[in-house]
Each structure stands twice: as structure tokens, then as C-alpha cells.
């Protein structure tokens, strides 16, 4: 029996690597080439898809749904429906694309306009492997994260570096919800990850239409 369903959303411009991050998080040990790169092909997201991480704390369970939303401007009005009732958000920019970095505050503003409560935030600067092409310094990402009250990591979906920072967001979301449950007296439905807690399963659910054209993990979506 699942005691709680929790929603986390991925935000950011199209092409920053949101789908690649989600795929790599869901497939952490998958490497297709000798140099450790993941050459899995990822289709651009049109609409929404999500994975479910099932947490177990004692006899209680919580399904954490991580939603991947398209970053294309024409879908922003549709995406707003999925901001509602979210407990956390992963905000992604491409370190080689300053425009995607500058757009983060707009994405967060939109998120907070539609969320019932202030969600826990994780800021990710993706494509850290492209050192020679970097346009956004690490210090700039750290400064933005402080202003947004968000945790900050630079990742490479191509190599899988720091992708498990998503787990840290899940833990923080559960911790915040647990503290709220203690205030309300509802201690069974919103508990944090205590010692002995574990991820039971990660399942992928697709709710998107497909378009022609694919891109390698870490290079597009």
C-alpha cells in the first residue's frame, strides 16, 4: 500500500539535458563505450514523461514521481498544470549556453506562481564535460543557487557525473514533508528517509508523443 504520492518536476530550456539526466538517473550503470560515455539515444520530449522512485520507511511507502516536461516555449502554458502540487523541482541549464542559464529565474518564477507551496529546489548546470565550451562559470551557478535557496551541482549526463544528486533532492523533499507531518500530526504519510530506508524500484512511465530525430545523451534534451 502506498501512503503518499509526491511530485518533483524537471524545468529548463529545451536542449539543456533534462531528459538525458532523468534517463541516466534511471540507468546509472549503463555505459556503451570504452571511455565510459553513455551513447544512449534520447528523443526530444514533446509533452511529459515521468519515472517513479518508490521509497520504503518501515512499513510505509511513498511513490516519488519525477516529471520531465518539455522546455519549448509553446508548451509552457500546458506545463503550468503540472507545477501544481509539486513538492520539489530540478532546474537545469546548460553550462555552454548562457541563455539557458539566464532563463532559470523565469522558470522558477513560473513554478512558484502555480505551486501551492514553495517547493524544494535543486539547480543543475549540465554538460560539465564540455570544459572548452563553458560559458557559465561554476561560481555563477553557486551564486544563483544561493539567491534561489537551492542546492547546486554541475553534472554531465554524458558521463554520469553527479547525476545521483537527484537522490539528495528526494531526501530533502521527504525531510521537509516529514517535518510538516509532525506539525499536523500525520506521521504515516510523509516521512523522511531514515537509516534503513531504501529505494525499492524505479519505473519509467511515458506520456509523450514522439517526433523524428534523436540526440545522444548529454548533448540535447
Ordered structural domains, the chain, with CATH: 4-216 (3.40.50.300)
- Per-residue pLDDT reduced to its tens digit, 12-37: 998 999 999 998 998 876 554 444 44
The predicted pLDDT at position 125 comes to 98
- Cell numbers of 170, please? 528526494
- Per-residue pLDDT reduced to its tens digit, 123-174: 999 999 999 999 999 999 999 999 999 999 999 999 999 999 999 999 898 8
Q: φ and ψ at 107, to 5 degrees?
A: -60, -45
For the chain, report the end-to-end CA distance as a whole number of angstroms. Answer: 34
Put simply, whether the predicted model's pTM sits higher than 0.85 gets the answer no
Which secondary structure element, helix H or strand E, spans residue 170, and what is its range?
helix 165-184
Which secondary structure element, helix H or strand E, spans residue 109, and what is its range?
helix 104-114
Residue 45 to residue 42: CA distance in whole angstroms:
9
Q: How many secondary structure helices (H) and strands (E) does the chain include?
A: 6, 9
Residue 79 to residue 174: CA distance in whole angstroms:
24
Residue 7 to residue 112: CA distance in whole angstroms:
14
Residue 153 to residue 138: CA distance in whole angstroms:
9
Pairing of strands 215-216, 41-42: antiparallel
Amino acid at each position: 500500500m502506498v501512503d503518499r504520492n509526491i511530485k518533483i518536476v524537471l524545468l529548463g530550456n529545451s536542449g539543456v539535458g533534462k531528459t538525458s539526466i532523468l534517463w541516466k538517473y534511471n540507468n546509472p550503470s549503463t555505459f556503451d563505450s570504452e571511455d565510459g560515455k553513455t551513447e544512449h539515444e534520447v528523443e526530444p520530449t514533446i509533452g511529459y514523461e515521468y519515472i517513479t522512485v518508490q521509497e520504503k520507511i518501515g512499513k510505509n511507502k511513498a511513490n516519488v514521481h519525477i516529471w520531465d516536461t518539455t522546455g519549448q516555449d509553446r508548451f509552457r502554458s500546458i506545463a503550468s498544470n503540472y507545477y501544481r502540487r509539486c513538492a520539489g523541482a530540478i532546474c537545469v541549464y546548460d553550462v555552454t549556453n548562457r541563455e539557458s542559464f539566464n532563463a532559470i529565474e523565469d522558470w522558477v518564477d513560473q513554478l512558484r506562481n502555480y505551486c501551492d507551496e514553495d517547493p524544494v529546489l535543486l539547480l543543475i548546470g549540465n554538460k560539465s564535460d564540455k570544459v572548452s565550451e563553458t560559458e557559465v562559470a561554476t561560481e555563477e551557478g553557486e551564486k544563483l543557487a544561493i539567491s534561489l535557496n537551492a542546492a547546486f551541482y554541475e553534472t554531465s549526463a554524458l558521463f554520469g557525473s553527479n547525476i545521483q544528486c537527484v537522490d539528495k533532492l528526494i531526501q530533502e523533499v521527504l525531510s521537509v514533508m516529514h517535518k510538516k507531518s509532525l506539525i499536523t500530526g500525520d506521521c504515516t504519510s510523509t516521512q523522511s528517509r531514515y537509516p534503513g530506508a531504501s529505494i525499492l524500484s524505479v519505473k519509467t512511465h511515458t506520456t509523450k508523443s514522439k517526433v523524428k530525430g534523436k540526440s545522444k545523451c548529454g548533448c540535447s534534451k
